[in-house]
A and B are shown apart, each in its own frame.
Chain A
Amino acid sequence: ETGVTQTPRHLVMGMTNKKSLKCEQHLGHNAMYWYKQSAKKPLELMFVYNFKEQTENNSVPSRFSPECPNSSHLFLHLHTLQPEDSALYLCASSQEGVQPQHFGDGTRLSIL
Chain B
Amino acid sequence: GENVEQHPSTLSVQEGDSAVIKCTYSDSASNYFPWYKQELGKGPQLIIDIRSNVGEKKDQRIAVTLNKTAKHFSLHITETQPEDSAVYFCAASMRDNFNKFYFGSGTKLNVKP
- Taking CB atoms, residues of chain B closer than 8 Å to A31 are 99
Q: Is A62 an interface residue (CB 8 A)?
A: no
Which B70-113 residues sit within 8 Å CB-CB of chain A?
89, 93, 95, 98-106
CB-based A-B contact count at 8 angstroms: 56
- List, in ascending order, chain B residues with CB within 8 A of A104's CB: 43
**Chain B residues within an 8 Å CB radius of A50:** 99
Looking at the complex, which one of B36, B89, B93, B103 makes contact with A98 (CB distance below 8 Å)?
Answer: B93
Q: What count of chain A residues pass the 8 Å CB interface test?
A: 28
The answer, among B43, B49, B51, B99, for a CB contact under 8 Å with A56, is B99
Query: Would A99 and B98 count as touching, CB distance under 8 A?
Result: yes
Main secondary structure of the interface of B (DSSP, over half): strand
Known: A2-B45, A42-B106, A103-B43. A98 touches B98 (CB 8 A): yes
CB pair B103–A55 under 8 Å, yes or no, is no
Complex formed: what's the CA distance from A41 to B93 in Å? Answer: 18
Chain A residues with Cβ below 8 Å from B41 are 105
Q: Is the CB of B98 within 8 A of A42?
A: no
Query: Chain B 18-62, CB within 8 Å of chain A: the 1/0 string?
Result: 000000000000011010100001111110010100000000000
Contact A98–B32 (Cβ < 8 Å): yes
Task: Give Cα A47–Cα B77 distance, bound, in whole angstroms.
Answer: 33
Measured CA separation A80–B102 after assembly (Å): 29
* B-contacting residues, A77-94, CB 8 Å: 90, 92, 94
